[in-house]
Amino acid sequence: MTDFLTAAFYKFIELADYAELQAPLLTCCEANDVKGTILLATEGINSTIAGPTAGVQAVLAYLRRDPRLADLQHKESWSAKAPFYRMKVRLKREIVTMGVPGISPTLMAGTYVKPQDWNALISDPEVVVIDTRNNYEVGIGSFAGAVNPDIKSFSKLPQWIAQAPALHPASGKKPKVAMFCTGGIRCEKSTALLRSQGYDEVYHLEGGILKYLETVPEAQSLWQGQCFVFDERVSVGHGLKPEQHSLCRACRHPLDETDLASALFETGVSCPKCHAITSETQKNSARERQRQWELAKARQRVHIGEKPNTIN
């Protein structure tokens, strides 16, 4: 039984009054029993929310009553349990943090490529294909032949771009570039960055990896592995079917069966990826947080620190 609808959406659009939108939007979400995270900034909106189908649809309808968001598109998925446990509407400088002033995807983004046309583009040997996601996301899946910038956060991508050999001009000409990310928001901003630097032929996957996995048959797919998602599914495969990954509550890295079987894994405390970089004090703090969570679960209550949500 699938009781909870998850809606993921974003839009780059000028919202000069974004701070004034916060309180009424939070009220609308709470009134409709919707939880998740909504980010607001002058450059637009970015969100993943979940709740009863009618509640999520009511929030989307509320947003679309604003003429600037009338054409807001969203992606849907369903689950048998609540993906999120709190509702947050946050004010940010950017809806996806790059840290480069003057970059406007509204005006400068690259060319959209539909999922059904993506294979042909990235199979062109003259096209440099770049995965704009974080290294822990790339670690469980990517497109065949894609360049991995090996970054810990999206804000590190501009520095990588500035020195990446794959982007150096050949015979005085900048290469064609195709960029992709989970849902489209990061590659939309990164293609705008490249265009601001004089790259003329820049493309990005419309709807991101999720739309590709949803619409391209597995037999025709160039995707390898799973796609990390920022909710309790952790990872999905073709057809957006949830895969067998768990999440380390300490470092937020996806974990497979080998990680879970490691002596360095301790539920809610550490995993092979973070055990060596956290102090014993931090581990003890995590153990207490895990103990409180287990007590709350035993009493059939939601602990305030339970399963924090993150947004793409």
Catalytic annotation, residues: 181
Cα dist from 96 to 91, 150, 159, 201, whole Å = 12, 18, 16, 23
Q: What is the CA radius of gyration of the chain?
A: 20
Phi, psi of 48 (to 5 degrees): -135, 120
Phi, psi of 222 (to 5 degrees): -105, 10
Phi, psi of 185 (to 5 degrees): -70, -40
Cα dist from 115 to 205, 222, 308, whole Å = 7, 11, 31
Residues 115 and 138: their CA atoms lie apart, in Å, by 19
CA dihedral 205, 210, 211, 213 (to 10 degrees): 100
Residues 260 and 236: their CA atoms lie apart, in Å, by 18
